[in-house]
Structure 1
Amino acid sequence: MIRSMTGYGRDEETVDGRYIIVEIKSVNHRYFEFSSRITRGYSFLDEKLKAYLQNRISRGKIDCFVSIETLEDADVQVLVNHPLAAGYLNALKEIGEKYGIPNDVTVSTLAKYSDIFTIHKAPDDEDAIWDGVRQVTDRALD
C-alpha cells in the first residue's frame, strides 16, 4: 500500500462501449482527503471510488476526475406531452389573433418549449460501469 503520495496519474480506455478517463492528482497531506468530479449521472461512483482509493493510498489530498462517455447507441425514448404541446399551440394562436401577429408557428417553434418532451433512458449497469472505472483507475495509479 502507498503510504504517502505526491503525484499525478491519468489513463483512458474504452470499456463495454464507454470511453472512460480517470485522472488522479495527489499532494502530501496529514490525512486522507478525497474530492471528485464525476460526469453527471454517475454520482453513484463517488463513494465506491473513495473507498477504493482509500485502500490503495493511506494519506494525502486526492483530487479525482472521472469522465464517462457512452459510445454506443443508448436505448433512449423521447416522449411528447401532446396535451401540453396543444396548449402551447393554442396559446400562441390566441396571442397572434389578439395582437394581429401572423401565425407562423412551426414544429421548430414548439420544440423550443423543452418541457413538452420527456427523455427516458434505459438504466445503466452500475456494476459494469464500476468495473470499467476500477480498471482505468488501477492503471492511472501505476
Structure 2
Amino acid sequence: MIRSMTAFAGDEAVIENLTVLCELRSVNHRYCDITVKLPERLRFAEAPIRSAIAAKIKRGKVECALNYKKLPQNFNVDLQAVEALLNAARTIESLMSEHRTFSALDILAYPGIQQETGTDNAVLGQGIFDLVDRTLDQMLEVRTREGEQLASLIDERCLKMRELVIAARNRMPEVLSHLREKLKLRIHDLVIEPDFDRLEQELVFLTQKLDVEEELDRLETHVNEVLRSLKAQEPVGRRLDFLMQEMNREANTLGSKSADKEMTGIAIDLKVLIEQMREQIQNIE
C-alpha cells in the first residue's frame, strides 16, 4: 500500500472537565522524525503519544500539537475560607482610619476561595491516547488517498517506459544496418579496393560497443520491480528511490551508446519519465 508523507488531520475530545484539541501534520523526510508540542498540563502524555505515532508512521516528519480548554462548570466555593476572609477583613477595617468596601466578586477572585474540580491523570492520559490514535487514523486515510494517486501516476509512467524500451529494441537492428551502409560508403570513397573482411571486423566491434540489450533488459527489470513495489503492503519509498537511481544510470548509458537521433530521443524521454517519477517518489513513505 503506497502512502504519501504529506497530510493533515485534526480532532477534539471532551475528557472530564477539559476539551482537548489534537492536530497532526506530516511532510517529507528521509526517516521518521516526530515532534510533540504540549502545554505543561499535558506534558505527562508525551511518551505514549510518541509511541502511538511511531507504531503507525515509518517515514516522514510528523508534528503533533495538543491544546485544551476548560469546560464551563459550577462554582465550588469554600465557605469556610470566605468566612475566614470576612473575619480578617473586619479586623483589618477596625484598624483602618477610612472605611473601604469590597464586593462579592472581589472575594471570589481571592486565591483559594474557588475550588476547581480535579482531573485524574490516568483518565486524561487514556483519553488523550484515544484522541491521538483516532486523529492518526484520519491522517493515515489522507496519506493513503494521496498515495493511491501517486501510485497511479508512477504506474502510468512505467507503462510509457516499457513502450520506449520496446521502441529501442525494435530500432537497434535498423541503427546497425544504417551504420553498416554508412561505413561501406565511406570506405568506398577512401579506398579503391576495400578490405571487406576488415570491414566486418570493424562492424562486429562497433556492434559490441553499441549493444544496449543489457541496458534495456535492466531497465525492463527495474520497471517490473517498481510495479511490484507499488502493490507491496509495507513502506517502499526508499526502495523506489534506489530503483530510480539505477534506472537513471541505465538511461544515461543508453544515451551514451546512442548512434542516431531516434535512439537519443528515446534515451532523453526515458530520463524525463524517470525524473518525473523520482519527484513523485520523494513524497512516498
Q: Could you say whether these structures have the same fold, taking a TM-score greater than 0.5 normalized by the shorter chain as the test? A: yes
Higher helix share: 2
| CA distance in structure 2 between the aligned counterparts of 1:66 and 1:2, rounded to whole angstroms | 28
CA drift at 1:14: 5.6
What is the aligned counterpart of 2:92 among 83, 91, 95?
Answer: 95
Q: TM-score, normalised by structure 1?
A: 0.64
User: Per-residue CA shift, 1:42-92, capped at 9, x if unaligned?
Assistant: 444322221121122234432211345577x87x7725161x433432333
CA contact (8 A) 2:24 2:135 kept: no
Inter-CA distance 109–127: structure 2 relative to 1 (3 Å threshold) = closer
- AA at the equivalent of 1:133: V
| CA distance in structure 2 between the aligned counterparts of 1:139 and 1:103, rounded to whole angstroms | 59
User: Per-residue CA shift, 1:101-134, capped at 9, x if unaligned?
Assistant: 3242332221121223322236373435532431
Query: 2:266: which partner in 1?
Result: none
Larger radius of gyration: 2
CA contact (8 A) 1:8 1:25 kept: yes
Inter-CA distance 63–128: structure 2 relative to 1 (3 Å threshold) = closer
SS in 2 for 1:108: helix
| CA distance in structure 1 between the aligned counterparts of 2:15 and 2:95, rounded to whole angstroms | 56
- AA at the equivalent of 1:78: N
| CA distance in structure 2 between the aligned counterparts of 1:53 and 1:33, rounded to whole angstroms | 10
Inter-CA distance 141–66: structure 2 relative to 1 (3 Å threshold) = farther
Task: Please list every run of 5 or more consecutive structure 2 residues that lacks an aligned counterpart in the other structure.
Answer: 142-285
- AA at the equivalent of 1:55: A
SS in 2 for 1:93: helix
Query: 1:119: which partner in 2?
Result: 116
Task: Please list every run of 5 or more consecutive structure 1 residues that lacks an aligned counterpart in the other structure.
Answer: none
The question of 1:80 aligning with 2:96 is answered: no
Query: 1:24: which partner in 2?
Result: 24
Query: 2:224: which partner in 1?
Result: none
Q: Which has the higher contact order (CA 8 A, sep 6+)?
A: 1
Query: 1:108: which partner in 2?
Result: 105
CA contact (8 A) 2:10 2:24 kept: no
SS in 1 for 2:76: strand
Percent pairwise identity: 23
| CA distance in structure 1 between the aligned counterparts of 2:70 and 2:83, rounded to whole angstroms | 34
Query: 2:58: which partner in 1?
Result: 58
| CA distance in structure 1 between the aligned counterparts of 2:103 and 2:2, rounded to whole angstroms | 62
| CA distance in structure 2 between the aligned counterparts of 1:91 and 1:15, rounded to whole angstroms | 40
| CA distance in structure 2 between the aligned counterparts of 1:77 and 1:19, rounded to whole angstroms | 18
SS in 2 for 1:12: strand
| CA distance in structure 1 between the aligned counterparts of 2:108 and 2:15, rounded to whole angstroms | 33
SS in 1 for 2:116: strand
Q: TM-score, normalised by structure 2?
A: 0.37
After superposition, where does 1:38-53 map in structure 2 within 5 Å?
Answer: 38=38, 41-53=41-53
| CA distance in structure 2 between the aligned counterparts of 1:103 and 1:38, rounded to whole angstroms | 44
SS in 2 for 1:10: strand
Query: How much is the aligned-residue C-alpha RMSD, in angstroms?
Result: 3.9
| CA distance in structure 1 between the aligned counterparts of 2:130 and 2:42, rounded to whole angstroms | 13
Inter-CA distance 81–35: structure 2 relative to 1 (3 Å threshold) = farther
CA contact (8 A) 1:12 1:22 kept: yes
| CA distance in structure 2 between the aligned counterparts of 1:62 and 1:135, rounded to whole angstroms | 15
Query: 1:139: which partner in 2?
Result: 138
